[in-house]
Amino acid sequence: MRPADLLPVPELTLEALGTQVRATGQGAFAALNEVRRLEAVLSRFRPSPLTRLNEQGELLDPPTDLMLAVRHALDVARRTHGLVTPAVLGALEAAGYVGTPGDAPVRTPVPVPALDGVLVTHEVIRLPAGVRLDLGGTAKGWIAEQAARFLGGNAVLDAGGDLHTQFTGGGTIAIETPDGSPMYVHLGAGVAGVATSSVLKRAWTGGHHLIDPRTGCSADTTFVQVTALAGRVTVAETLAKLALLGADDVLRDLAPAGTRLLAFDRHHRMHGWQDGAWGRWAA
């Protein structure tokens, strides 16, 4: 996903969050630096405060950013009735994703534990026995939202499909469809969040990265890609994952007025969410 020839300033890029992060507009350099700084705190793929927490089960005097990111993940889990949860790390590894997608053999599914008993304060973060956290389900959007505070004027920050956009007079973004062609979407003036979730990327033989906590396995989905457009990127990220998981009841409860959802099924036919229900989309 990228801005479609909107801003007459260079686009800056950074390899981070397991993807290419792009920023355009005033403050883009500072925003990308913030992305890099937050990734160092929240990464599960290299030594970080998060990996120490998972290894030890407790972290004293945790970085403020880790505390806030974990609190955000816990809040999302609560509001989605556990469907979007950071407690999927064991299940993700059992599905074959340890360091890179499909780098480990698929094992017997591991139940996704509840988050009861997780303690998060300024003094300590403590995890109950059997709970380890993967913040990938919520961290990209949260990081994008934090980094966007450095942007000014017309600007876009794209964290691998999780976009913060801000336009004084509206703008257009391009979303990559499953067949690789662009689909252009117009956004009105103001701040918006756009998030795309897909089971076609970070996928391997026998699985993909989106774990269904109800089964502990890679989710069996009707759609292969969902894009959510909402007022904030963290909200859009949550809604896109709920739509992929087929959680329409929770989606209806959480989707703010004005939310747009665009989805592609396995035949690459497009569907749209309107008035709390899905329908075939006429482009």
Residues 197-237 have pLDDT tens digits of 999 988 999 899 999 999 999 999 999 999 999 999 999 99
| pLDDT at 258 (0 to 100) | 87
139: three-class secondary structure by DSSP: helix
| pLDDT at 275 (0 to 100) | 77
CATH number at residue 115: 3.10.520.10
- Per-position b or e across 83-94, b if 16+ CB within 10 A of its CB: bbbbbbbbbbbb
Look at residues 134, 103, 112, 102 and name the one whose alpha carbon lies nearest to residue 206: 102
* Count of domains for the chain: 1
| pLDDT at 17 (0 to 100) | 83
Which tokens sit at 118?
Answer: 């997780």
Cα–Cα distance measured from residue 236 to residue 193, given in angstroms and rounded to the nearest whole number: 6
| pLDDT at 233 (0 to 100) | 97
230: containing domain: 2-280
Cα–Cα distance measured from residue 1 to residue 22, given in angstroms and rounded to the nearest whole number: 10
Residues in the chain predicted with pLDDT less than 50, given as ranges, are 1-8
